Structure 1
Amino acid sequence: MAIIHHTTLSPTKLELLTRWLPSRPWFRAGVGAGGEQPALVKAGGFRLEDPSGEVGIEFLAVTDSAASDPVTYQTPMTYRAAPLAGAEDALIGTLEHGVLGKRWVYDAACDPVAVAQLYALLTGRAEAQAQSESDTPDRTVGVRAATGVPLEDAGTGAVIHGTRSTDVDLVLPVGGLLWLRFLRVPTAHDVPETTESAAHVTVGWTASDGRPRHGLWCALMDSRE
């Protein structure tokens, strides 16, 4: 069981993301007047638990309210007590946790522990957890479980970042490939035809006008079309 510590973070998660997001290909540069620095607010999300208890895994939604038309981003992150070897390009930054000390924060789409647990969620072997409460399942997260795929952990291959999504190669233990797709700019009720019959995760968040939204965040694909 992962314990949620309600403590100080320096810098905060939003401060780290404010520096990092503009460097990403899915950031809507120039959407705001003059393309100013994003002004981020937390909009929702959920957690997954690392069975070893070593890595924190959080799927966070943040909304850039600086844009003339506010944009919500999915920013999944992992929190580690030491650097992840070979993942320098995926490092969002470091922060000081009031209880746990220094944490290295990574883009979870590039972290094999997070990818393995998302695959476990999509194959019915893990459960989404509440963002801010210990040992509390998040019943608002919808999961359409995969069928006909191996129930063992898959290896992580190439990570491909696009202008709206990130695709991660999953190397199956029996051979072959699947792809995990992270929708970086989720849209309410957005379940494209290519994924509506595939395994996927839907999540709720709060829009900038205070209204609830719900849409596709992640999908398990058998092709990258």
Structure 2
Amino acid sequence: MALLHKATIVPSKLELLARWLPGRSWGGDGAVTRVAAARFDDPAGQVGIETMIIRAGEGALLHVPLTYRGAPLAGAEAFLIGTTEHSVLGTRWVYDAVGDPVYVAQLAETIRAAGREAPEEVESGGVRVAREPDLALRGSGAEPPAFGDVVEVTGDDPVAVRSATHELTVARRLGASLPGATLTGAWDGDGAPAVLAALTTR
């Protein structure tokens, strides 16, 4: 279960992305709009993990997974998008999740185990209320064992995240097919599910 807080966030996630995306080859310019989003659950309860589908200006639909941490992630400076002030949790470090091992482990396990997005609850004034995600994530299932430690992250669109035995391919611009077991995302108004990531053995 992903626990969220009713809070003020400055700058907002979309404002951070609007500053970061123009520097990506796959990014785009213009106002960033949220299309849909869902969460994965960190078993340790320390890292927020969000899969976002966004659009920058009039450009293509983009897949941007993010992680939120209460302290900097050592060795992940190249993946830092920025920091934001959360009115409940304080300073949060926001990362491009392909460089965060917690996201990588949860993504691989969701694909492998035919999993789905985490249930969400929003807390406000000590009261928790269930919230339905507007992005439905589905792993296809796969035979390989657990992903293992990340040894390399390369590429831009798609991104390749490798362990000693597996490779995760994470799409940025949506619409391409990817080989292997997959994670798909579906949301209202977009027809067939889009392939967001794929898992293969090396």
TM-score normalised by length of structure 1:
0.78
Number of aligned pairs?
Answer: 194
- Residue in 2 that maps onto 1:9: 9
Deviation at 1:119, TM superposition (A): 1.1
Tell me if the contact between 2:42 and 2:49 (Cα under 8 Å) persists in the aligned partners: yes
Structure 1 residues not aligned, in runs of 5+: 29-36, 172-176
Query: Secondary structure at 1:86's aligned position in 2?
Result: coil
Tell me if the contact between 2:120 and 2:132 (Cα under 8 Å) persists in the aligned partners: no
Partner Cα distance (1:13, 1:105) in 2: 8
Partner Cα distance (1:17, 1:111) in 2: 17
- Among the aligned pairs, what percent are the same residue? 36
Deviation at 1:21, TM superposition (A): 0.8
Query: Secondary structure at 2:151's aligned position in 1?
Result: strand
- Residue in 1 that maps onto 2:181: 199
* Aligned equivalent of 1:157, options 109, 128, 151: 151
Q: Does 1:73 align with 2:62?
A: yes
Deviations 1:196-221 (A, max 9, x none): xx210110246xxxx32431001002
Q: Does 1:110 align with 2:118?
A: no
Deviation at 1:128, TM superposition (A): 1.3
* Aligned equivalent of 1:64, options 52, 56, 59: 56
Deviations 1:69-127 (A, max 9, x none): x3111110000000000111100000011110100000100000110111111121854
TM-score normalised by length of structure 2:
0.86
* Aligned equivalent of 2:173, options 171, 176, 185: 185
Partner Cα distance (2:163, 2:111) in 1: 13
Per residue, is there more strand in 1 or in 2?
2
Which letter maps to 2:73? L
Which letter maps to 1:183? A
Tell me if the contact between 2:27 and 2:56 (Cα under 8 Å) persists in the aligned partners: no
- The 5-angstrom pairing of residues 1-225 of structure 1 reads 1-28=1-28, 37-65=29-57, 67=58, 70-124=59-113, 127-129=116-118, 140-147=136-143, 149-150=144-145, 152-162=146-156, 164-171=157-164, 177-187=165-175, 190-192=176-178, 195=179, 198-205=180-187, 211-213=189-191, 214-222=193-201
Partner Cα distance (1:75, 1:12) in 2: 15
Q: Root-mean-square deviation (CA), in Å?
A: 2.3
Deviation at 1:137, TM superposition (A): 7.8
For the structure 1 residues 40 and 137, does the alpha-carbon distance in structure 2 shift closer, same or farther, using more than 3 Å as the test? closer
For the structure 1 residues 18 and 107, does the alpha-carbon distance in structure 2 shift closer, same or farther, using more than 3 Å as the test? same
Dislocated runs of 4+, deviation >6 Å: 134-137
